[in-house]
A and B are shown apart, each in its own frame.
Chain A
């Protein structure tokens, strides 16, 4: 099984801080994704990447950026955290180029912005 590890389970940050959420997968999967999960809104795609140094915007990219310098690592960056970014953030990985592939999720990072 692919293991997707998110480095922080819980974070508390202040408004205006720069926040890094790290995600590492250990099975050489090409595709990586960042979603945020909010009650009643499901999982919304923030950014995704199909290859090293490649990134694509999802449905809600505003206020976020990403970095994929190595195949196994996909970082989500909040340049200046705001209270409306308080949420659960889920990283996921899948194999293959495009197409219909199973997402394996990390355990999530719950971010609170005060």
Chain B
């Protein structure tokens, strides 16, 4: 079955710097890759997703890139702000439509 690995587990950046979180997946049939953000004490919420027919997608300060050949995808946050501090989860949808999550990255943006 699908296996998703996520790195790093923790990331600390200065406000205004960029943050990059990377994920790899194992099932070459996976074709949908969402990212969820979970603020402290709150439920995870979708922030951006990408499908396998595109290589990059942007939404204001966040972007996701996908390399299907290498089976990895990344989340990029530019001009980080304190409110970006949260746990971020990547995920991949396997061939049976199950969404398999990575282990999460705790991002801390220092003011």
Contacts and interface: CB of A to CB of B under 8 A. Distances in A.
Contacts of B103: 40-42
B9 interface: yes
A99 B104 contact: no
B97 A103 contact: no
Contact of A48 (B45, B49, B98): B98
Given A59-B1, A105-B43, A106-B43, A100 B51 contact: yes
A79 to B, nearest CB: 23
A42 B98 contact: no
A98 B97 contact: yes
Interface residues on A, range: 20 to 34
A92 to B, nearest CB: 8
Interface string B35-67: 010000011111001010000000000000000
B105 to A, nearest CB: 10
Interface of A: 33, 35, 40-45, 48, 50, 56, 58-59, 90, 98-100, 102-103, 105-108
- The 8 A-B pairs of least Cβ separation, nearest first, read A100-B32, A42-B103, A105-B43, A43-B101, A98-B97, A42-B101, A42-B104, A102-B46
Interface of B: 1, 6, 9, 31-32, 34, 36, 42-46, 49, 51, 89, 91, 93, 96-104
